[in-house]
Structure 1
Amino acid sequence: MKTAYIAVLLCATCSVCAGSSSVAYTKTTVSSVPVHVVTANLNSGCVRVSVVMPTRGRGSAEPASKLVSRSSPRAALTGTFFDTKSLLPTGDIVINGVRAHKGSVGSALCITKDNKAKIVPAKYRSHFDESAFETVLAGGLTLVYDGKISLNPRAEGFSDPHLFRYNRRTAVGVTKSNKLLMVSVTKRISLNKLAKIMKELGACEAMLLDGGSSTAMFANGHFVCEPTRRLTNLLVVYDTAKTETSKKNVDVTAEKPDTETPLR
């Protein structure tokens, strides 16, 4: 009985601490795999999620460091896949309610104006209206849906053999409590392993984002995972309660912190 009481007390303490910041980063281990995780509480009126593209727009690419320094987000993650020749993203991108790019494949992260997030699998996308969302990032592969692992790459239009190999990965998920999970894994893992990780982290919906040499995560003013090539888009999170941080304070050097910290 005493043990149970202590456990409840510890859980309550953790909840209070977690609530002290709307956007927080941690490096943890899930299923024996080191994982970088940014958690954004979308129920907070301070948090906004968007997509950043190069200055020249679609069909161009920039270093991730430039995308971050120009937009000054609290956190950023590799966005959707893109064609390495045309540099065009594979999926739809909607920024501030306006379509920035029309893609052709994949599931979609969709966020409404009142910050309600959902991941719409590719098979359902023809039945929903993108104009109802403030932010859309499509072109990903469904990993988790309705709380269950859901992997069917070819049915969602993915056939590139590189996708099925063990590789560095990024993913985005949504929890039942409307929290956004931005996840980066630098260890080479399978798609099935990534899906299991997202489920264990609490995602009831999750989808794969671009990975391999595109793998990037920015948190706590540093790149905790740095890509080796230019990118065409980044998923970014802003915390308007932390506006005291300006662009000149952003350090775009790589760093690999080991502790859990709220983003300040």
Structure 2
Amino acid sequence: MKKIIITALFVLLISFNLHTPNTYANSYGVVEDGSNRTLVPLRMIAETFSVAVDWDNASKVVTIDNKYKLTLGSKAIKSAGQVIRQMDTQPKMLQSTVYVPVREVAFLFDAPMNWDQAKKEVSYQVGATTYKVSVYPEQVMSKPKVTVTKKTVNAGGKKLAMNVVSVNLLAPNTSLHVELANDKLGSVGSLATIAKKHNAQVAINGNYFDAYSNSSYRTVYNGLVMNGERVKVFDPKFSVFYVLKDGNVSILPGEQFMKLFAEGNVQEAIQVGPRLITNGSVTVDPIAEGFSSHKILSSPGARSAIGILPNRQLIFVTTSGATVQQLASAMKQLGAVDAMNSDGGASSGLYANGKYITPPGRDIAVGLLVK
């Protein structure tokens, strides 16, 4: 009987969430500052159980089965007014999500749990099923969703003024989307209009397209995935920035990406290139990716880039008067461990918090948006 009660306690604690924010943001654990204890989000494993819970917002108390209570800011777990367990840390709220100390919950639930230091991952077992949870530092989880800065970077002997928009992909209700101008392939429109139409907080220009004709249909070059559906075919050589259905992001060559896409886990993708950084090292090789234009091989110009930082952090960057090689050096200095060049020249544009950070010199066909 005690084991059944404690199981219910664990289930209800982990399934509770205040504002039911974006699923991505509730799929991670956190390493608490100071105590170095690992806490897991409540909603994350709610799908593995079916339980009811009452939340008193005034007292910050969860009541389970009308008997068992856990209070935010307290180290005690109570039953019938009596403390049944003292924890060595306490539940807390981060970004409108309640987190519970995993070691204490494991003790109560008698659930096998393990910590993988190399992968920064907690695993726990329910019945015959093992669940794995990525864990991130509390200070990273607590960062703002969007931060806009200006930085100067010395790259290849040249000082580059960089507009940088940092995005915390761990923040609640944060998601990435590929959108077309006027929601129509082959159409063009302003980056700001695309962003505003889709209620995006951040937007950067995406794929190369036919920018110089007067045709009513402007060809978009290379691959696109929107909402899990392939909209344009992928070139085997060009680099692809993609978003998985669990919110993780990465960059792959087209050929490798197509194999990944066939597995059915890709949510969004744009194919531009060339790739700038791979696993922390500058790896610019535009000829190998099929580029032949001097605009990519050697000439300076306006540039846009997407960079992936550790702990699910992302940067969108624009600069002017930079070669692709200089852009790669700058992205590395900004902390990117993976990065890709996006369309440049007059197409280069960056939008954040309702205004242009870098206004494009022309209408564009594709935008990568943060909502």
Tell me the TM-score normalised to structure 2 length: 0.57
* SS of the residue 1:125 aligns to: helix
* SS of the residue 1:163 aligns to: helix
2:192/2:351 contact within 8 Å kept: no
Give 5+ residue unaligned stretches, structure 2: 1-137
1:30/1:200 contact within 8 Å kept: yes
What residue is the counterpart of 2:222 in the other structure?
91
Equivalence map 1:100-139=2 (5 Å): 100-104=231-235, 106-122=238-254, 124-129=256-261, 131-139=264-272
* SS of the residue 1:109 aligns to: strand
Choose which of 172, 180, 183 in structure 1 pairs with 2:317.
Answer: 183
CA RMSD in angstroms comes to 2.0
Which segment is superposed worse, 148-157 or 84-93? 84-93
1:141/1:156 contact within 8 Å kept: yes
Q: Tell me whether 1:166 sits opposite 2:300 in the alignment.
A: yes
What residue is the counterpart of 2:38 in the other structure?
none
What residue is the counterpart of 1:70 in the other structure?
197
2:152/2:162 contact within 8 Å kept: yes
Given residue 125 of structure 1, which amino acid in structure 2 is its aligned partner? Answer: F
Q: How far off is 1:126 after superposition? A: 4.5
Separation in 1 of the partners of 2:183 and 2:177?
Answer: 18
Given residue 229 of structure 2, which amino acid in structure 1 is its aligned partner? Answer: V
Larger Rg: 2
Q: Tell me whether 1:57 sits opposite 2:189 in the alignment.
A: no
Separation in 2 of the partners of 1:200 and 1:91?
Answer: 29
What residue is the counterpart of 1:249 in the other structure?
none
Deviations 1:192-214 (A, max 9, x none): 11001111111111000001100
* SS of the residue 2:163 aligns to: strand
What residue is the counterpart of 1:3 in the other structure?
none
Separation in 1 of the partners of 2:222 and 2:312?
Answer: 23
What residue is the counterpart of 1:235 in the other structure?
368
2:234/2:258 contact within 8 Å kept: no
The alignment of Structure 1 onto Structure 2 pairs a total of residues equal to 223
Q: How far off is 1:128 after superposition? A: 2.4
Separation in 2 of the partners of 1:17 and 1:106?
Answer: 32
Q: Tell me whether 1:202 sits opposite 2:335 in the alignment.
A: yes
Separation in 2 of the partners of 1:143 and 1:20?
Answer: 26
Higher relative CO (Cα under 8 Å, sequence separation at least 6) belongs to 1
2:169/2:314 contact within 8 Å kept: yes
Q: How far off is 1:16 after superposition? A: 5.0
Given residue 118 of structure 1, which amino acid in structure 2 is its aligned partner? Answer: S
Give 5+ residue unaligned stretches, structure 1: 1-14, 239-264
Q: How far off is 1:65 after superposition? A: 2.9
